Chains A and B, each alone.
Chain A
Amino acid sequence: MKLSEDTERIQDLLGDYCRTGVDQDIPGITPGRLHHYRRLVYNVVRDTMDTAFPITLAALGEEQWDVMVQDFFSKERPQTPQIWKLPFEFYRYHVNQETGAKIQKPYLDDLLYFEWIEIEIHTMPDRPFPGYSRTGNVFLDTLAFNPEYEIVRLEYPVHMHSAEKTLELKGDYFVLVFRSPETGNVQFLNLSGLNTYILTRLAEERVPLNELKGDIARVAGIESGKYLDDSLSTFIGDLIDKRLILGYIT
Chain B
Amino acid sequence: MEHQMNGKVGIGLRRNISKEILESTLLKPDFLEFAPENWMGMGGYWNRIRKEAVEKYPVTCHGLSLSLGSPEELDWDFIRELKVFLDENQSSIFSEHLSYTKSRNAHLYDLLPIPFRRDAVDHVVDRIKRVQETLERPLAIENVSYYTPVAAEMTEIEFISEIVEKADCQLLLDVNNVYVNAFNHKYDAREFIGKMPLDRVAYIHMAGHEQVAPDLIIDTHGQPIIDPVYELFEWTIQRMDPVPVLLERDYNFNEIEQLQSELDHLKSIIKKHWKVTNESPERRNSSAEPSGVHETN
Contact = CB atoms under 8 A, between A and B. Distances in A.
Interface in B144-158: 147-152
A11 B114 contact: yes
Contact of B44 (A41, A86, A124): A124
Provide the main secondary structure of the chain B interface: mixed
Contact of A83 (B43, B106, B109, B297): B109
Contacts of A18: 103, 108, 110, 112
A122 B100 CA distance: 30
A33 B148 contact: yes
Interface stretch (A23-31, A134-142, A161-169): A23-31
Interface string B146-184: 011111100000000000000000000000000000000
B46 A123 contact: yes
A16 B46 contact: no
A34 interface: yes
Interface string B114-125: 110101101101
Interface in A1-51: 1-4, 6-8, 10-12, 14-16, 18-19, 26-30, 33-34, 36-37, 40-41, 44-45, 48
A80 interface: yes
B214 to A, nearest CB: 12
B107 A16 contact: no
B78 interface: yes
A11 B109 contact: no
A104 interface: no
A125 B297 contact: yes
Interface of B: 37-38, 40-48, 64-65, 69-71, 75, 78, 100, 102-110, 112-115, 117, 119-120, 122-123, 125-126, 147-152, 185, 212, 216, 218, 293-295, 297
Interface of A: 1-4, 6-8, 10-12, 14-16, 18-19, 26-30, 33-34, 36-37, 40-41, 44-45, 48, 76-84, 86, 121-127, 148, 179, 183-185
